[in-house]
DNA sequence: ACAAAAGTGTTTATCATACACCCATGA
DNA sequence: TCATGGGTGTATGATAAACACTTTTGT
């Protein structure tokens, strides 16, 4: 069997962040190797023989680039024969959510540069990575209304308006503040804290809120359905 | 690079059928080769160098076993290093829906036997195939309420009660017939035909109904949401 | 005539939606 | 005192859920 006849397998990761000013942001690296050398691409790399797919993602991001994510989910497997111009490569794509505290990326051995880009202003990308990002965002958009993953994009303590803006950004539509807050608070898994945000310019200071994951797990077992149709 | 160090890639398919008497059924084959020789397993096989993943599924099922499905969707990629005891194999799992008219399976070159099993009465399975079937059913269960895929499990023309029973079987709960029918018919994509079912024993003969896929596509573009919360 | 499955409407409760004013702070 | 963003309640309409009797056929 000729080596070139072996299908190779990689993982690619779409890491999303959220900032109120920028909206949804995506981590990209600039490739150091052919093909698509110097092009922007998703972080990722070959799966080693003995490691799980998730371990490969972790290794590429956490160990090699110092990046931490606090949510990771398999997205889809891309296997079009011509997606890599040199060699048949099947890629298992994941998407992950990153809190603002972990936004500063470190260049890895496979990348000469890493940076966050606004989802709505991405550069030309290598391979089918634009398509992967699009699919990842669609998944996020669908999932945020029935699983409490939005909180993974915010700091642990956040003003309620951040949550509102996050939902409006991801769902790409306006949401009534009063109805939204009523629905979220009614679920009983978001707590208002006595603390206020550090004052920042005009406006009444907001309380901080926190998602209570333990409470969510308990309520989930008793049949709670997290469902924000907004 | 040592050959045994290459990760191999397969596809596996969970084909679901539905019969009123049996409920959901799953196609299994009995393996002709090691590992797990003579065990029941999902149909599937290695992906060839130049073919897409979907083409590999089609080849294994349609060309080699004469099986036709009328819906196919990628499910998940299973990559645990020890899932195959001999060799690292990553499998991209698909699930498909089969109409009753295509239920009779033909033994393929990789299988000495093929048969439909009730989902609730499966034999011990090779590899992690039990887990894959479970995940496929969960996907079906989730998807049937917001995409019109249930019709792919019925004959093109069906009595309405078949649809009711299908939903009750898949969702694993009772559904009020009157509310269900009202919701389905209100969508405007299921047509009542003048024909009646061939008489079969007691009871008033039912009309036949048909899902109008073209109408659904048109309505979908005008914002129709297929959503059967039942 | 009765058993068996098909067919059909109304009432009630819940929830989504729409909508506007007061509050606390910094400048 | 004004600009800015935070915080809150009510009324209405839509829809999900609960619920039972009549019709048509075969035996």
| Phi, psi angles (nearest 5°) of residue B66 | 70, 20
A50 vs B: CB within 8 A: yes
| Phi, psi angles (nearest 5°) of residue B201 | 80, -150
Between A46-60, B162-176, B187-201, the lowest mean confidence (pLDDT) is in B187-201
Chain segment B62-103, per-residue pLDDT in tens? 988 889 999 999 999 999 999 999 999 999 999 999 999 888
Residue ranges of chain A with pLDDT lower than 50? 1-4
Residues of B annotated as catalytic are: 113
Chain segment B212-225, per-residue pLDDT in tens? 999 999 999 988 88
| Phi, psi angles (nearest 5°) of residue A38 | 75, 0
Q: Counting Cβ atoms within 10 Å, is residue A101 exposed (0-12), middle (13-18) or buried (19+)?
A: exposed
User: What pLDDT, on a 0 to 100 scale, did the predictor assign at position B166?
Assistant: 98
CA quadruple B142, B148, B154, B159: dihedral positive or negative?
Answer: positive
Is B9's CB within 8 Å of A5's CB?
no
Chain segment A98-115, per-residue pLDDT in tens? 999 888 876 555 556 899
pLDDT at position B210 over 70: yes
A5 vs B: CB within 8 A: yes
C-alpha A42: how far from chain center? 12
Q: Which nucleotides of D are covered by protein (CB under 7 A)?
A: 3-10, 16-20, 23-27
Q: Which residue of B has its CA nearest to A74?
A: B76
CB–CB of B116/B103 below 8 Å? yes
Both structure tokens of B178:
């009157």
Both structure tokens of A186:
């009614």
Both structure tokens of A60:
């590429």
Q: What integer is the mean pLDDT of B179-197?
A: 96
pLDDT at position B165 over 60: yes
B 145-204 residues, CB < 7 A, strand D: 176-179, 183, 199, 201-204
pLDDT at position B59 over 60: yes
Question: What's the mean per-residue pLDDT of chain B?
Answer: 93
**pLDDT class for B110, splitting at 50, 70, 90?**
low
User: What pLDDT, on a 0 to 100 scale, did the predictor assign at position A222?
Assistant: 87
Contacts of A1 in chain B (CB under 8 A): 3
B86 vs A: CB within 8 A: no
DSSP state of A147: S
C-alpha A89: how far from chain center? 23
User: What pLDDT, on a 0 to 100 scale, did the predictor assign at position A12?
Assistant: 98
Q: Which of B3, B7, B47, B139 to mutate to test the interface with A (most CBs of A within 10 A)?
A: B7
Sole residue written with tokens 């779409």? A14
User: What pLDDT, on a 0 to 100 scale, did the predictor assign at position B157?
Assistant: 97
Strand partners, A158: A209
Q: How far apart are the first and last CA of chain B?
A: 56
Both structure tokens of B77:
């990629």
User: What pLDDT, on a 0 to 100 scale, did the predictor assign at position B65?
Assistant: 85
Q: From CA A182, how far away is CA A185, in angstroms rounded?
A: 5
Nearest nucleotide (C1') to alpha carbon of B175: D17
User: What pLDDT, on a 0 to 100 scale, did the predictor assign at position A110?
Assistant: 59
Pairing mode, strands B8-19 and B89-97: parallel
User: For chain A, what is the largest distance between any 2 Cα atoms, rounded to a whole number of angstroms?
Assistant: 70
DSSP state of B125: B
Residue A132 makes CB contacts below 8 A (sequence gap 6+) with: A12, A14, A42, A75, A76, A78, A91, A93
User: What pLDDT, on a 0 to 100 scale, did the predictor assign at position A48?
Assistant: 97
Contacts of A91 in chain B (CB under 8 A): none
CA distance to A33, B76, B108, per residue, from B60 (Å): 36, 18, 8
Pairing mode, strands B40-41 and A89-97: unpaired
Q: How many other β-carbons are positioned within 10 Å of the β-carbon of residue B26? A: 24
In this predicted model, which residue has the larger pLDDT, A175 or B104? A175
Nearest nucleotide (C1') to alpha carbon of B228: D16
Nearest nucleotide (C1') to alpha carbon of A186: C15
CA distance B197 to chain A (A): 40
């Amino acid at each position: 069997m000729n080596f070139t006849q072996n299908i190779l397998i990689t993982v690619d990761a779409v890491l999303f962040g959220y900032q109120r000013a920028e909206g949804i942001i995506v981590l990209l690296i600039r490739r150091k190797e052919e093909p698509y050398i110097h092009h922007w691409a998703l972080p990722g790399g070959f799966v080693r023989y003995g490691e799980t797919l998730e371990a490969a993602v972790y290794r590429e991001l956490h160990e090699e680039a110092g990046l931490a994510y606090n949510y990771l989910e398999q997205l889809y497997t891309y296997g079009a024969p011509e997606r890599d111009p040199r060699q048949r490569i099947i890629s298992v794509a994941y998407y992950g959510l990153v809190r603002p505290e972990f936004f500063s990326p470190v260049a890895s051995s496979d990348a000469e540069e890493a940076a966050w880009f606004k989802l709505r202003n991405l550069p030309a990308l290598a391979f089918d990575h634009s398509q992967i990002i699009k699919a990842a965002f669609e998944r996020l958009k669908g999932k945020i209304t029935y699983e409490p993953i939005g909180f993974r994009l915010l700091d642990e303590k956040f003003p309620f308006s951040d949550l509102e803006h996050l939902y409006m950004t991801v769902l790409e539509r306006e949401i009534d503040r009063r109805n939204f807050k009523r629905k979220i608070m009614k679920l009983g898994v978001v707590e208002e804290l006595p603390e206020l945000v550090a004052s920042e310019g005009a406006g009444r200071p907001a309380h901080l809120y926190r998602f209570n994951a333990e409470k969510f797990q308990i309520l989930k077992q008793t049949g709670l359905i997290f469902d924000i149709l907004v």
